[in-house]
Homo-oligomer: A and B are copies of this chain.
Amino acid sequence: MSSTPTIFISEVGDHANEKVRVKGWLYNRRSSGGIHFLQIRDGTGLIQGVLKADHVDDELFEYAADLKLESSLIVTGQVNEDERAPIGYEINVDNLEAYQAVEEDYPISRKEHGVGFLMDNRHLWIREKGAAPVLRIRHEFLQGLREFFDNSGLIATEGPILTGVSVEGTTTLFETDYFGESAYLTQSSQLYLEATAAALGQVYWIGPVFRAEKSKTRKHLTEFWMAEAELSWVEHDENLDFQEKMLNYTVNQVAEKRSGELEELGVDVDDLIRKVELPFPRITYEEAIDIVNDAGVSMEHGEDFGAPAETALGDHFNKPVFIEMFPREIKPFYMEPTEDGEKAFTADLIAPDGYGELIGGSQRIDDLEILQRRMEEAGLPEEPYQWYLDLRKYGSVPHSGFGLGVERTITWICGLDHVRETIPFPRQINRIYP
């Protein structure tokens, strides 16, 4: 019986000059002058195993010479400090055993592939250097959000995925048969969170939402995750304060805990931290229109911002910027109007560097009659929203909320070209496999 401890690669720093066992996969390899250099990954990190012909018997050295990429391995050896290694250590391999020696060549060799091929092999692609760090950053980003919400006294709650009503119209909904009735996959849990907020005070959820949009852009998925919050007794300005503190906290958590992954992706971490320094600029819709036009992107009052306009705004401020007080008529029915009815207490948070809208939020209408009038104008029937109207009949309070696009925000943090790389198994108009 050996007493060699089995460790994760992320723990090698605690085992310098000790003999350890690592279980992982052969990520890459080269051989040179009687030495095999074996890159071993285990999900927590990557380390080089050095297998020397003069240190092991011939049979083992030959065996290792034939191992194909992604073979699963159990490796024992001594952890040595090596300042040239990214992780600071390497393993001087004493023994090595493949649990499964790969027979066919691994489809994703460590060279360039087209995106279509990588997406078809997404189940393998997520093991690669450019892909796995993004998923670890996603983990940290979502944990950071939850931590911020919990520290702020919010209660995690859930809206249903299957609903009889839609928040923003029915044209882009996935529909399913629900025991003879029509049901739709939710596009947002907002309305439901308004109900749980009236029960629990301040609430959030992080969950999947759906849009059956035919658009093929680098910012859209048909299935994506939202972080949504609803805050009882909170009005417009305080809603923005909350959002900017949330993004500041979460990005700093990611920067602190996943700096290695960010650097692997080529992110300038100091610049990222600078970008989320508080406060974020807040400008009105009108001011934004002027900036966009000054930047040479033609846009008229009453229009919503398209991608070129959002890019112009991002370039102007070079950090996230709130665009406040949109015209009421280009925003959804539930947003609190100003006294003259022209504007709404709403704000979109636009990312720098052309990444577009990260957060959309507003104060919600709390007056029953105004809400009914807006629903009528929007052509929405009252009956399926009866429960939502009840919230204004029985103890209505001023309240505000927002939704953050999880993939959109991670795309920005990681400096990626496309949202599809920020979720393990992306769903797009032409993709539901794997």
Interface residues of A (CB under 8 A from B): 8, 10, 23, 25-26, 42-44, 70-72, 99-100, 102-104, 106-107, 121-124, 126-127, 131-132, 135-136, 138-139, 142-143, 146, 150, 153, 155-164, 174-179, 181, 183, 185, 192, 195-202, 207-208, 210, 212, 214, 222-223, 225, 232-233, 366, 384, 386-388, 390-398, 423-425, 427, 429-430, 432-434
Across the two chains, which residue of chain B brings its CB closest to A434?
Answer: B387
Across the two chains, which residue of chain B brings its CB closest to A192?
Answer: B425
Pairwise interchain contact B390-A124, C-beta atoms closer than 8 A: yes
Q: List 30 A-B contacts (CB under 8 A).
A: A25-B198, A43-B199, A44-B153, A100-B366, A100-B392, A100-B396, A104-B393, A106-B394, A126-B195, A126-B196, A127-B198, A132-B200, A135-B155, A158-B208, A158-B424, A158-B425, A159-B425, A160-B223, A161-B208, A162-B210, A162-B222, A164-B432, A174-B177, A176-B176, A178-B222, A179-B429, A207-B207, A207-B208, A386-B434, A388-B434
A153 to B433, CA, bound (A): 29
Shortest CB-to-CB span from A331 to chain B, Å, is 23
Pairwise interchain contact A432-B139, C-beta atoms closer than 8 A: no
A235 to B391, CA, bound (A): 51
Pairwise interchain contact B143-A156, C-beta atoms closer than 8 A: yes
**Given that A126-B195, A393-B104 are contacting pairs, would A423 and B158 also be in contact in the complex, using a CB cutoff of 8 Å?**
yes
Pairwise interchain contact B201-A162, C-beta atoms closer than 8 A: no
A291 to B42, CA, bound (A): 43
Across the two chains, which residue of chain B brings its CB closest to A232?
Answer: B43
Given A135-B196, A138-B156, 15 more A-B residue pairs with CB atoms under 8 Å apart are A23-B232, A70-B394, A100-B392, A100-B396, A126-B195, A126-B196, A126-B200, A127-B199, A132-B199, A132-B200, A136-B200, A174-B178, A175-B177, A176-B176, A179-B214
Residues of chain B contacted by A391 (CB below 8 angstroms): 123
Shortest CB-to-CB span from A45 to chain B, Å, is 9
Give the 5 A-B residue pairs with the shortest CB-CB distance, closest first.
A43-B201, A387-B434, A70-B395, A126-B199, A123-B195
A150 to B176, CA, bound (A): 35
Shortest CB-to-CB span from A120 to chain B, Å, is 9
Shortest CB-to-CB span from A366 to chain B, Å, is 7
Residues of chain B contacted by A425 (CB below 8 angstroms): 158-160, 192
Pairwise interchain contact A135-B396, C-beta atoms closer than 8 A: no
A298 to B406, CA, bound (A): 52
Pairwise interchain contact A396-B72, C-beta atoms closer than 8 A: yes
A25 to B12, CA, bound (A): 55
Residues of chain B contacted by A181 (CB below 8 angstroms): 432
Pairwise interchain contact B179-A430, C-beta atoms closer than 8 A: yes
A47 to B391, CA, bound (A): 22
Residues of chain B contacted by A210 (CB below 8 angstroms): 161-162
Pairwise interchain contact A162-B99, C-beta atoms closer than 8 A: no
A142 to B10, CA, bound (A): 26
Shortest CB-to-CB span from A171 to chain B, Å, is 14
Residues of chain B contacted by A8 (CB below 8 angstroms): 153, 201
Pairwise interchain contact B157-A139, C-beta atoms closer than 8 A: yes
